[in-house]
Amino acid sequence: MMELDELRTKWQNQDRQLEESLRLNRELLSAAKLDSAKSLLRRDAIYAGVEAALWLVMVIALGKFTADHFRALDLCLSGAAADVMSIGMLVALVQRMVRTLQIDYTQPIFTNQKNVETLRILRIRTTKWGALCGALLWIPWLAVVSQVIFGVDIYKSASTSWFIGNALFGLALFPLAIWVSKKYGDRMGRSPFIKRLMKDLDGENLSAAQDFLASLREFGTLSNS
């Protein structure tokens, strides 16, 4: 029967053999290769910057829309509601960008992993809240879009049954998205982005992140169990 201490000696002996047989591909360590990989990371930062810029444009455009329709209360409120949602999304995105820049892999594992997981939870919550608000504000968004693109005020032109139908659709959209994600999340699409989105929506990623945070806390504290 082997004890861990005995195995440690064998492991370290094995290390010496490993040292001789390991081959490091020096070409892949060249600055050009590392810098091209860095540029991929930079590209991710650029995507996040573009997304933030788009939300900023949306915030400004919706603010202008709200001011322009100050006298039409229903359109004004629709524009304001969509604007508040856009501001929330922009703030959350900027917060995520700042926190991402603060992630430091040279920190102790306990600290770094806590930060990484908290960031992951922030991203998942932003996705969920974005989807929920988008679904609840379905009619206001529709009103703004139809006014801007087609010049049609749906509050004046649409029938009551249309409103009821769309309000019910808006209310059903979020639970429907969660149901579809739970039922077909694993089968739908090969795109990692779609898969992640669905797992964010159905709560799988959130509970996994919370479980990991809990195990991290337990790991960081002395327990008698």
Partner 1 sequence: MAMAELQDRFHTLINEHKRILYKVCNSYCRNREDREDLSQEIVIQLWRSFGTFDEHQRFSTWMYRVALNVAISFYRRESTRTRHVISDEQHLVDAPDQTHNRPDEIRLLYQFIEGLEPLNKALILLYLDGNSYEETASVLGISETNVATKINRLKASMKETFSGSKHVGPRSGK
Biggest alpha carbon distance in the chain?
A: 84
Task: Report in angstroms how near the CB of residue 54 gets to partner 1 at its nearest.
Answer: 21
The crossing angle, in degrees rounded to 10, of helices 204-220 and 109-136 is 150
Judged by CB under 8 A, the stretch of 46-54, 63-71, 113-121, 160-168 that binds partner 1 is 113-121
- Quick check: 117 and 212 in contact, CB under 8 A? yes
Report the residue number, 37 or 171, with the smaller CB distance to partner 1: 37
Which pair of structure tokens corresponds to residue 106? 């040279």
Distance, CA of 57 to CA of 48 (rounded, Å): 14
Of positions 104, 149, 156, 161, contacts partner 1 by CB under 8 A: 104
Task: Report in angstroms how near the CB of residue 27 gets to partner 1 at its nearest.
Answer: 7
Q: Is 150 left (phi over 0), alpha (psi -120 to 50) or beta?
A: alpha
Q: Hey, how many other C-beta atoms are within 10 angstroms of the C-beta on 82?
A: 25
Of positions 47, 167, 169, 218, contacts partner 1 by CB under 8 A: 218
Q: Find the binding residues for partner 1 in span 1-60 (CB under 8 A).
A: 1-5, 7-8, 10-12, 14-15, 17-19, 21-29, 31, 33-34, 37-38, 40-41, 44
Contact between 100 and partner 1 (CB under 8 A)? no
121 phi and psi angles, rounded to 5 deg: -65, -40
Query: Which residues contribute to the site for partner 1 (CB under 8 A)?
Result: 1-5, 7-8, 10-12, 14-15, 17-19, 21-29, 31, 33-34, 37-38, 40-41, 44, 104-113, 116-117, 192-193, 195-196, 199, 205, 212, 215-216, 218-222
